[in-house]
Amino acid sequence: MRIVIVASNASRRFGGEAFIPFNYFRLLLARGEDVHLVAHARNREELSHEFPHHADRLHFAPDTAFHRAMNRLSRVLPRRVADITCGMLVHLSTQVAQRRLIRDLMKRERVDVVHEPIPVSPKTPSLMYGLGTAVVVGPLNGGMEYPGAFQREQDVLSVVALRFGRFLARFAHAIFPGKLRADVVLVANQRTRHALPKGVTGKVVELVENGVDFSIWRRGDKADDRDETKVKFIFVGRLVDWKAVDIVIEAMARLPDRASLALEIVGDGPMRKSWEALAESRGVASQIAFSGWMPQEACAERMRASDALVLPSLFECGGAVVLEAMAMALPVIATDWGGPIDYLNSSCGILVKPDSREALINGFAHAMSTLATSAPLRCRLGQAGYERARDHFDWDRKIAQILAVYRSAAAQTAPGK
């Protein structure tokens, strides 16, 4: 088959959603598949470096003055407001250019399937329709809300933006019906299935959104310079409000034995200064290290030097970092909400109910204390997580699944069908 992966971003460096199409392209190439990647020009330098022998398979929508202006404006707006305004306009204008690139590619050679894996939001409209070939969208992952006890913690502007964005999505899908007309729509879970726009005509298939690359997130010996007198927890992610790192900071402050614990926070974002100040005010600054953003390989090294991952997020649709920790045999403590519950169970981690702010803080404090005082428990949970990640979430296994989806979609749209 000839396959085209189309994505707004495809990047190891950007992380998050952008790593999903990057991995599809990389691993399909490794399997010898005839695959092309259509992305935005902001990815050109990285992708050209990553795939120096496949320049003819890389195609880029241009980075225009309009895109740059929208990106500058988005930095001064609240995230959700920026997403439904600047982000949506950039997405749609990029897809117009990507449609042209795909059509030009199809004039030169047959294309059996076009796969649009991101954006993962089921509400984001798509222009990938009417291409004359099979179209696969997803896996999508969305339909998220804050836990009920935390609804009031969202700022009013973001709540209004979210509701307005969902209202606009109904009309956007009518104008740009890519998701409605796709031959196959992949969803990560039942929550997302229920959030699909009305009018989807293609086959809906459940497939986990994220996978884990065991060549990067591999278990190994602890670092030689590791301080064995302390149990080390680690958080990895963007420092934005919904990640709720303040929950873990408050939990650390409530632990009587916190002098024997350490927390490393890997990532950067607008909440960093506030959370650094919180750690200082709670008297735990000496136990918490803010390490800033790191590339994946460096994150993996820091996780190998840790004993457990914490993810207190209140709005986590996916949570690839959970799978990465599991692949490295680290036990995980996470909020019992959203994406992490698609991956974790009691055999390999501790899920804390977000019944209230107080309950969540106390739950993380108790879970951290429990893991800190039992090396055998950490080992047992970590090993179970490793086996679960290997059995269910390995990217190689996922590629085999997506190829079966491609074959099915292509067969349904073949001439005479």
218-231: average pLDDT = 67
Sheet containing 231-236: order of strands: 288-292, 261-266, 231-236, 308-311, 332-335, 349-352
Alpha carbons 24 and 351: distance in angstroms, whole number: 30
Q: Looking at the predicted structure, is the pLDDT value of residue 156 above 90? A: no
User: Does residue 162 have a pLDDT over 70?
Assistant: no
| Residues 6 or more apart in contact with residue 190 via CB below 8 angstroms | 206
Between residues 262 and 143, the one the model is more confident about:
262
From 42-46, 224-228, 402-406, the region with the lowest mean pLDDT? 224-228
List Cα–Cα distances, 158 to 81, 196, 388, in angstroms: 6, 21, 36
Q: Considering the chain, what percentage of its residues have pLDDT values greater than 90?
A: 56
Query: What is the average pLDDT across 5-22?
Result: 87
pLDDT of residue 301: 92
Show the domains of the chain with their CATH numbers: 2-211+394-413 (3.40.50.2000), 231-392 (3.40.50.2000)
pLDDT at 314 over 60: yes
Q: What is the pLDDT of residues 240-290, one digit of tens each?
A: 888 999 999 999 999 987 778 999 999 999 899 999 999 999 999 999 999
The token duo for 187 is: 């969803």
Structure token pair of residue 242: 């919904």
The answer to whether the beta carbons of residues 66 and 48 sit under 8 Å apart is no
Q: What is the pLDDT of residue 416?
A: 42
pLDDT for the residue numbered 417:
41
Sheet holding 58-61, edge to edge: 58-61, 34-40, 2-6, 113-116, 134-140, 184-187, 203-206
Stretch 67-86: mean pLDDT: 79
The single-letter code of the amino acid at 353 is: K
Q: Among 135, 113, 131, 132, which residue's Cα sits nearest to residue 179?
A: 135
How many whole angstroms separate alpha carbon 331 and alpha carbon 303? 11
Tokens of 261: 């614990």
Candidate from 154-163, 234-243, 281-290 with smallest mean pLDDT? 154-163
For residue 154, the one-letter residue type is Q
**Kind and range of the H or E element at 308?**
strand 308-311
**pLDDT band for position 185 (50/70/90)?**
very high
Mean pLDDT of the chain: 88
Q: Which two tokens stand for residue 292?
A: 């800033």
Q: How confident is the model at residue 155 (pLDDT cuts 50, 70, 90)?
A: low
Give me the DSSP letters along 184-248. Answer: EEEESSHHHHHHSPTT--SEEEE--S--B-TTTS---PPPTT--TTSEEEEEES---GGG-HHHH
Per-residue model confidence (pLDDT) at position 160 = 66
Element (H, E) at 369: helix 357-372
Neighbours of 35 (CB within 10 A): 22
Kindly report the number of other CB atoms within 10 A of residue 109's CB atom.
9
Whole-number pLDDT of residue 154: 64
Q: What does each C-alpha distance from 134 to 197, 272, 375 come to in angstroms?
A: 20, 44, 51
Cis status, amide bond into 295, omega within 30 of 0: no
Q: Mean pLDDT across the stretch 329-357?
A: 92
Residues whose CB is less than 8 angstroms from the CB of residue 362 and which lie 6 or more positions away in sequence, other chains included: 251, 254
Residue with tokens 């909440």: 271
DSSP 256: T
Mean pLDDT (whole number) for 3-21:
88
Cα angle vertex 234, ends 230, 240, to 5°? 145
Q: What is the DSSP string of 132-175?
A: SSEEEEEEE-------GGGGGGS-HHHHHHHHHHHHHHHHHHHH
**Beta partners for residue 261, in sequence order:** 231
pLDDT per position as a tens digit, 122-142: 888 999 999 989 999 989 998
C-alpha closest to that of 32 among 8, 54, 47:
54
What pLDDT, in 10s, does the model give residues 84-111?
A: 778 888 888 999 999 999 999 998 888 9
**Per-residue pLDDT averaged across 42-70, rounded?**
92
For the cut 60, the answer to whether the pLDDT of residue 224 exceeds it is no
Q: How, if at all, do strands 308-311 and 113-116 pair?
A: unpaired
For 179, the 3-state DSSP assignment is helix
